[in-house]
């Protein structure tokens, strides 16, 4: 049987189920990664499972989100993460070592392996030929405990690349072009698999930019073959022995095919406030810019910073704006320093930020009021930058650097000669900022600060849900809408405190209403829960008594997180029934059986309508138990 690349890796790791599109399957995970904004909760959950050591080939705990240490909360979380990593056999990447996805690509990614990460941009690993999937922290905790990861067998979309990128056009423009065509929900339930003669023109970091931002399609993952280019990258990282060739069979079948001629791609920008609102730079020319940020897990590689340095060398940042540079890793920062790139950037007036996520998640370098901000990151959701009124555009490092000099949007193809950058034959390798765990962790004492609160556990689900509609929201509600990040990130390990900010930017009275009603239902539109993998967008509503979410459609990771925390996720059979519910209506849902459709009775309005679900048999059992953690503990005790 001929197989595509995605099917080959899944077949090698399949634990249960059949490789039939949309059917439930379980796969073995070789590696896991966490970052500190999601990791503290993930490791509290792993600890609650009572497993003495992780059972994966490799698990890495990165600190890259909450690095601004304004008080004790973040450093307390970091020492907790460091000690729990030592105890349970996890590699710890210290603050300053870099962004998890960039560092993992450099030092740990292996073609053909599976990777599960508690961050939605984990598919970055697909740039090196991994099947890398983002998930909630509880799913990652279960994978570390040796449990398989449950998902629906994805459909596989072939992206056939031809041609070659023209000067001033980058990998960022490639994924923006795909987003323009596919939209932020076009990839739900899919893996995007890249192929064609255009592959050989793209380096591994360029491929990783594309797979990283494939998350904005709503895709399960994105993946490139492991070829000679992959081998060159791994050799330059001193890891040639990790290389294996991995390509699709010549006659492999796909669910859909996208044709993309790289020669025809032009410089693009994602406009406020969604990554799929894409326009050519030529249509935005002369729009004044107030801030530029080059960095994030999407575009902070050696080549990205070197190109920016060549553009800015001998020039000065326009007086209108502020330019921030955030290298993706310590490796990138050291090479930029050694080769003079850092001097060129700082000499031009750039502000050097930490090798961390920072501005992308609203943790520092916020724009001014009503600012037009150009960023090389992957999301431009409203208010995510830390400034409610900011207009954030997503662009390539080349477009960002030119705008930093010009003070406005400028089509870079009209500018001076293009800054060619060759990939180094050898990267600077220094793994001293990793702390590798001891063989045994029995004697390690886990250090817990006062901000680390106990895990909230939901009670078992009864035969029916009777609760009022707490809020009604529109389409494309993101996890940033549900659980704001930025200044609230230090509360990630303290659910009772973090829960005070659920839907804060959408409805400031939500928390008080939820506390008063004690139980409730959320009503939403299409693509509910898109964006970050943050499980707190399910965990904190669960803590506030949310019993169910009724919407038109769900984003993949959030749907799984709702099940994990015992919240019933259902969709309107008839989308028009969204209009049958308003805030304050009392709803009754019979959940004595999950077979077939469920009936929702609006007791306030005297109407009934049907809702449907995509729950597997295991999902149903997990929901009845009150969530995956109580279900797992119940299984263990039995």
Segment 463-471 shows an average pLDDT of 96
pLDDT at 57: 98
Q: What is the 3-state secondary structure (H, E, C) of 239-286?
A: CHHHCCCECCCCCCCCCEEEEEEHHHCCCEEECCCCCCCEEEHHHCCC
Q: What is the pLDDT of residues 147-183, one digit of tens each?
A: 999 999 999 999 999 999 999 999 999 999 999 999 9
Q: What is the pLDDT of residue 638?
A: 65
Q: What mean pLDDT do residues 372-395 have?
A: 96
Report the pLDDT averaged over residues 414-430. 93
pLDDT of 467 higher than 80: yes
Q: How far apart are CA 357 and CA 359, in angstroms?
A: 6
Tokens coding 233? 């990258």
pLDDT at 117: 98
Average pLDDT of span 244-266: 97
Cite the active site residues.
64-65, 119, 379, 532, 534
Alpha-carbon gap, residue 563 to 570, rounded angstroms: 11
Give me the pLDDT at residue 526, please. Answer: 96
Label residue 350 by pLDDT band (50, 70, 90).
very high
Q: What is the per-residue pLDDT for 319? A: 97
Closest by CA to 293, choosing from 377, 217, 216, 230, is 377
Comparing CA positions, the residue from 260, 196, 207 lying closest to residue 229 is 207
pLDDT of 254 > 70? The answer is yes
**Average per-residue pLDDT in the chain?**
96
pLDDT at 538: 97
Summarised one tens digit per residue, pLDDT across range 265-307 is 999 999 999 999 999 999 999 999 999 999 999 999 999 999 9
Please say if the pLDDT value at position 345 is more than 80. Answer: yes
Domain architecture of the chain: domains with CATH: 5-264 (3.30.499.10), 268-410 (3.30.499.10), 464-637 (3.20.19.10)
Query: How many residues belong to the chain?
Result: 638
Q: pTM, whole model, 2 decimals?
A: 0.95
């Amino acid at each position: 049987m001929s197989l595509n690349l995605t099917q080959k890796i899944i077949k090698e790791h399949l634990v249960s189920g059949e490789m039939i599109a949309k059917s439930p399957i379980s796969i073995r995970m070789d590696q896991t990664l966490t970052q500190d904004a999601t990791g503290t909760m993930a490791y509290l959950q792993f600890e609650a499972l009572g497993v003495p050591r992780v059972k994966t080939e490799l698990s890495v705990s990165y600190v890259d989100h909450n690095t601004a240490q304004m008080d004790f909360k973040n450093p307390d979380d970091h020492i907790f993460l460091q000690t729990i990593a030592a105890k349970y056999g996890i590699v710890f990447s210290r603050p300053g070592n870099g962004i998890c996805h960039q560092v993992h690509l450099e030092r740990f990614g292996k073609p053909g392996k599976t990777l599960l990460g508690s961050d939605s941009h984990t598919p970055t690993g697909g740039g090196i030929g991994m099947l890398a999937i983002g998930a909630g922290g509880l799913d990652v905790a279960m994978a570390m405990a040796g449990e398989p990861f449950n998902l629906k067998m994805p459909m596989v979309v072939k992206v056939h690349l031809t041609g070659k990128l023209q000067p001033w056009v980058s990998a960022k423009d490639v994924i923006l072009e795909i987003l323009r065509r596919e939209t932020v929900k076009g990839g739900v339930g899919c893996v995007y698999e890249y192929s064609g003669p255009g592959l050989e023109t793209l380096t591994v970091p360029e491929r990783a930019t594309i797979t990283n931002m494939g998350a904005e399609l709503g895709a399960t993952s994105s993946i490139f073959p492991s070829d000679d280019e992959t081998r060159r990258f791994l050799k330059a990282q001193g890891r040639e022995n990790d290389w294996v060739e991995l390509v699709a069979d010549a006659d492999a079948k796909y669910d859909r095919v996208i044709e993309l001629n790289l020669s025809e791609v032009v410089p693009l920008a994602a406009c406020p406030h969604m990554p799929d609102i894409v326009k050519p730079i030529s249509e935005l020319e002369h729009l004044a810019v107030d801030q530029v940020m080059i960095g994030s897990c999407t575009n902070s590689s050696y080549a990205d910073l070197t190109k920016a340095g060549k553009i800015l060398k001998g020039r000065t940042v326009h007086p209108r704006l502020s330019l921030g540079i955030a290298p993706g890793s310590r490796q990138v920062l050291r090479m930029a320093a050694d080769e003079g790139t850092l001097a060129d950037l700082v000499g031009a007036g750039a502000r050097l930020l930490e090798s961390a996520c920072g501005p992308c998640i609203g943790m520092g370098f916020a724009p001014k009021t009503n600012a037009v901000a150009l960023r090389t990151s992957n999301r431009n959701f409203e208010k995510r930058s830390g400034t409610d009124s900011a207009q954030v555009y997503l662009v390539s490092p080349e477009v960002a650097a030119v705008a930093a000099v010009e003070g406005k949007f400028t089509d870079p193809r009209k500018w001076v000669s293009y800054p060619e950058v060759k990939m180094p034959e050898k990267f600077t390798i220094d793994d001293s900022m990793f702390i590798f765990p001891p063989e045994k962790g029995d004697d390690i004492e886990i250090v817990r600060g006062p901000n680390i609160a106990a895990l909230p556990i939901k009670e078992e689900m009864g035969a029916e849900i009777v609760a009022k509609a707490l809020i009604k929201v529109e389409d494309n509600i993101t996890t940033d809408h549900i659980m704001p990040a930025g200044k609230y990130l230090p509360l990630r390990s303290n659910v009772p405190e973090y829960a005070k900010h659920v839907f804060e930017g959408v409805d400031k009275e939500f928390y008080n209403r939820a506390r008063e009603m004690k139980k409730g239902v959320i009503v939403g539109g299409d693509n509910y829960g898109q964006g970050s993998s943050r499980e707190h967008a399910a965990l904190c509503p669960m803590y506030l008594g949310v019993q169910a979410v009724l919407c038109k459609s769900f984003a993949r990771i959030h749907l799984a997180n709702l099940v994990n925390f015992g919240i019933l996720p259902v969709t309107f059979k008839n989308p028009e029934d969204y209009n049958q519910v308003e805030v304050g209506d009392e709803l009754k849902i019979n959940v004595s059986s999950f077979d077939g459709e469920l009936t929702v009775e609006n007791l306030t309005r005297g109407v009934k309508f049907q809702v449907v679900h995509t729950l597997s048999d295991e999902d149903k059992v997990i929901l009845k138990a009150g969530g995956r953690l109580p279900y797992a503990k119940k299984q263990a005790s039995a």
